[in-house]
Amino acid sequence: MLKSIKISLVFSTLIFSLNLFSQSKFTTLNSETESKITALLSEMTVEEKVGQTCQITLDVFLKRNANGAVIEPIEIDSKKWEEAISIYKVGSVLNVGSHTLSMDQWKMIMENVHEPYKSGKTNIPIIYGIDAIHGVNYTIGGTLFPQEIGLAATWNPRLASEFGHITAYETKASGIPWNFSPVLDVARQPLWSRYFETLGEDPYLAGEMGKAIICGYQGKDKMDNYHTAACLKHFVGYSTSQSGRDRTPAWIPEKYMQELFLAPFKSGIESGAMTVMVNSGDVNGVPGHFNYHLLTEVLKKEWGFNGFAVSDWEDFIMLETVHRVAENPLDAVVKGFNAGVDMSMVPSAPHYKSYCDLMKQAITEELISMERLDDAVRRIIRVKMAAGLFEKGMNENKNYPDFGSSKHKEKALCSALESITLLKNKNNTLPLSAESKVLVAGPTANNLVYLNGAWTHTWQGLDTTYNTAGCNTIYEAFKNEIGAENCSYSQGAELYLQEDYEACKLSNISDFKTKAQNSDVIVLCLGELPSTEKPGDIRSLDLPKAQIELAKIAYEYEKPVILVLVEARPRIIHEIVGDAAAIIQTYLPGDYGGDALVQLLYGKENFSGKLPYSYPKHNGVIEFYDHPRSVDRSKSNHFKAYDPEWNFGYGLSYTNFIYSDLQISQQKITTVDELTISVMVTNTGKMNGKEVVQLYISDKVASLVPAGVRLKGFEKIELAPNESKRVEFSIFAEDLKFADNSGNWITEPGKFEIAIKDLNVTFELN
């Protein structure tokens, strides 16, 4: 049989990453630019310099009615805008107001924002920033991709880069040059409400996918009209709070700070990311905005970051009111700014006015040096120049014919197809037969808001008013595929907003039962209400009880029940895993998630998504794939702490992949050698399929307990039935380093094991 196998070209991860996502030049200093900035600085007053460091929200200058509510449709209050520009000389604006806007509304806003520079009233243009975190979520008609956690599940940096490119194009079409994305926080706390905004639990996967997104956002060399500045969030340690609740303390030993949390940010900075947003929480008792060591010593000095650091929402104020490391508002401003934050997202009125006044006072009283202020302003102007803002003139909408185009939608669909992950498929229940009558049920089955999650059209993403016209919910996608006569819908359980976002109850269960009785298959769509930040805090990872009950009711009919998870974080479903015929994780797949799911369920496309996290089995035992050996001391499950429902990197396919012939270039390497590893992968099934080849390394013996395994390479390949490909990876001594307890990186000679799927091989570093 092997003889009939086609052998194709070698795939090399090294070549791939060097070519596609090589270091960009944006933050490399250029003497001509620096001289221009020096000239500008020399002409600026203290007020103007302070204004550059001040960021306000759009709401500050929108017209309001007598009750203080923003007038709809929005209008600019020219008096307020004039005050912000002429008196306070603000350098940056952010946000969207309360909901998504039309392209014309953005044009109107951007004309106002650009006007002071265009008309020569100011010498420095304003930079506008927005959270376009899974596509252009705040412009009507924009293309919505899976949220970052879903993008990570594609394990496909090319797709991530295309996502970045399309998002930048459409953000720029709305006139906006700066995107507060990507989130490079490593997800080590599944309770966290912003888990879905991350690229998963592994620093290498997050770093590689992050680099690709940044490259897509910013382009390669000169920022053109189709790219935006990226902003790495949230520097650093935000994602691992002890309580799991948003913006609560994290305790991170230096070793893990280096290995897990700083690593993706470092590769993001090396990829040329122009800006960084600071962590709102505190780590080891030090608020992110007060961390001189991380912001100034590590980010700016050690890593050579030449862009600027923006605070998160109101975080200077919080140094006094929440973190209590500042005695008063002046002290807070001084501490935040001197720690290394260059721009303050103040962002509301009247706070922004007091911020500017306090900054001026701090300069007069020499609490902040002119040198520090100049450094921050230089960084801000440098980014504004790199982002092309000094070239006068607004981009015309007509220059963006591909905004919301079918070409862009196709990519969003592709991303959802490669992301959705098949976790169980008992007795090949899937693909479904087009002949079967299907009940599509569950709280997340029939509304686009569940597919998109938070930061979609509104902050919490719950308002259905702005759902993209023409996009299909899961139920609608089923109807399109098999005809309304072959499928029915029943909600079964309702997620609703009470005091928090965890409320759920059974609804119209008799309707559910009748329809279950009359169907051949039940597709049960479970999950969560969209939410993020504080409102999204939950107290338990368990899937709300009513949904567990609904699954149990569905099982009573002894028909195949397919569980479809539409969730922002892995919710515990252990009780209902055993009786499910199939289980699919869709994450938050975006506007085309319903279509993608249905194509996959009917076998029109093959599954290739892999979990970017370990899916926990029990609420009280949360461990990660790179746990040390002590976690798995015994073979017995009872003693095993790492016993997830599904492993990191797991995901099934309709076809079968066999790995063979693992080779390494040499048994021993020195610190300057390159080790080449290759493996043959063969599609022995009957369907075309994509496979993620994952390379893990373990340090056999080290002076500090080593991670059990660590992901050090991956490549997504596509194979036709009977086709084989040899996949090649390169490893250097650099990849074998670990951090000691003081955070110093060390390379220790010794034995290492490489594992790819079920094959392994050892080598020695001398």
Name the residue nearer to ligand BGC (CB basis): 201 or 533: 533
Report 439-498 residues binding ligand BGC (CB under 6 A). none
**Helix 31-43 crosses helix 370-386 at what angle (to 10 degrees)?**
130
Per-residue tokens: 621 = 């035992």
Name the residue nearer to ligand BGC (CB basis): 320 or 481: 320
**In whole angstroms, how close is the CB of 600 to ligand BGC at the nearest point?**
31
Spatial separation of the C-alpha atoms in residues 256 and 283, rounded to whole Å: 12
- SS3 for 669-724 is ECCCCEEEEEEEEEECCCCCEEEEEEEEEEECCCCCCCCCCEEEEEEEEEECCCEE
Q: What is the DSSP string of 442-464?
A: STTSS-HHHHH-SSBSBSSS--G
Q: Rule CB under 6 A: choose which of 59, 131, 645, 728 binds ligand BGC.
A: 131
CA distances 17 to 11, 207, 464, Å, are 11, 12, 40
Q: What is the DSSP string of 138-172?
A: TBTT--B---HHHHHHHT-HHHHHHHHHHHHHHHH
Name the residue nearer to ligand BGC (CB basis): 94 or 711: 94
Q: Which residues are catalytic?
A: 312
**In whole angstroms, how close is the CB of 16 to ligand BGC at the nearest point?**
30
Q: Are 130 and 198 in contact (CB under 8 A)?
A: no
Q: Which residue has the tokens 């001509």?
A: 32
Name the residue nearer to ligand BGC (CB basis): 16 or 313: 313
Q: What is the DSSP string of 49-103?
A: HHHHTEEEEGGGGB-B-TTSPBPSS--B-HHHHHIIIIIS---EEE-BTBS-B-H
Give the containing element (helix H, strand E) for 548. Answer: helix 545-555
Q: Which amino acid, residue 449?
A: V
**In whole angstroms, how close is the CB of 480 to ligand BGC at the nearest point?**
35
Q: Considering the rule CB under 6 A, would residue 322 count as an interface residue with ligand BGC?
A: no
Spatial separation of the C-alpha atoms in residues 556 and 125, rounded to whole Å: 64
Report 272-291 residues binding ligand BGC (CB under 6 A). 277, 280
Spatial separation of the C-alpha atoms in residues 376 and 340, rounded to whole Å: 8
Name the residue nearer to ligand BGC (CB basis): 74 or 346: 346
User: 196: alpha, beta or left, given left = phi > 0 and alpha = psi -120 to 50?
Assistant: alpha
Q: Are 439 and 487 in contact (CB under 8 A)?
A: yes
CB atoms within 10 A of CB 700: 11
Q: Considering the rule CB under 6 A, would residue 313 count as an interface residue with ligand BGC?
A: yes
- Contacts with 268 (C-beta within 8 Å, 6 or more apart), sequence order: 182, 184, 207, 210, 211, 214, 230, 232
**In whole angstroms, how close is the CB of 577 to ligand BGC at the nearest point?**
33
Name the residue nearer to ligand BGC (CB basis): 131 or 170: 131
Per-residue tokens: 530 = 């969209």
**In whole angstroms, how close is the CB of 233 to ligand BGC at the nearest point?**
5
**In whole angstroms, how close is the CB of 380 to ligand BGC at the nearest point?**
17
- SS3 for 476-511 is HHHHHHHCHHHEEEECCEEEECCCCCCEEEECCHHH
For residue 528, give the 3-state DSSP assignment.
Answer: coil
Name the residue nearer to ligand BGC (CB basis): 107 or 233: 233
**In whole angstroms, how close is the CB of 55 to ligand BGC at the nearest point?**
9
**In whole angstroms, how close is the CB of 408 to ligand BGC at the nearest point?**
23
Cα atoms in the 13 Å half-sphere on the side-chain side of 582: 29
Per-residue tokens: 683 = 């599609």
Name the residue nearer to ligand BGC (CB basis): 185 or 320: 185
Q: Which amino acid, residue 20?
A: L
Q: Considering the rule CB under 6 A, would residue 148 count as an interface residue with ligand BGC?
A: no
**In whole angstroms, how close is the CB of 17 to ligand BGC at the nearest point?**
27
Report 85-124 residues binding ligand BGC (CB under 6 A). 94-95
Q: Considering the rule CB under 6 A, would residue 192 count as an interface residue with ligand BGC?
A: no
Cα atoms in the 13 Å half-sphere on the side-chain side of 477: 23
**In whole angstroms, how close is the CB of 57 to ligand BGC at the nearest point?**
8
Q: Which amino acid, residue 394?
A: M
**In whole angstroms, how close is the CB of 20 to ligand BGC at the nearest point?**
27
**In whole angstroms, how close is the CB of 198 to ligand BGC at the nearest point?**
11
Q: What is the DSSP string of 241-292?
A: -SS-STT--B---HHHIIIIIIHHHHHHHHTT--EEEE-SSEETTEEGGG-H
Name the residue nearer to ligand BGC (CB basis): 294 or 477: 294
Lay out the site mask for ligand BGC across 230-249 (x = CB under 6 A, - = otherwise): ---x----------------
Q: Are 527 and 567 in contact (CB under 8 A)?
A: yes
Name the residue nearer to ligand BGC (CB basis): 460 or 606: 460
Q: Are 504 and 443 in contact (CB under 8 A)?
A: yes
Q: Are 747 and 764 in contact (CB under 8 A)?
A: no
Q: How many residues bind ligand BGC (CB under 6 A)?
A: 10
- Contacts with 119 (C-beta within 8 Å, 6 or more apart), sequence order: none
- In sign, the C-alpha dihedral spanning 132, 136, 140, 146 is negative
Report 510-549 residues binding ligand BGC (CB under 6 A). 533
Name the residue nearer to ligand BGC (CB basis): 94 or 341: 94
Q: Rule CB under 6 A: choose which of 180, 475, 501, 615 binds ligand BGC.
A: 180
**In whole angstroms, how close is the CB of 716 to ligand BGC at the nearest point?**
29
Name the residue nearer to ligand BGC (CB basis): 314 or 643: 314
CB atoms within 10 A of CB 119: 9
Q: What is the DSSP string of 602-633?
A: TTSS------SS-B-SSTT----TT--GGGG-
Name the residue nearer to ligand BGC (CB basis): 460 or 724: 460
Q: Considering the rule CB under 6 A, would residue 312 count as an interface residue with ligand BGC?
A: yes
| Beta pairing, strands 674-683 & 723-732 | antiparallel
Catalog residues that contact ligand BGC under the rule CB under 6 A. Answer: 94-95, 131, 180, 233, 277, 280, 312-313, 533
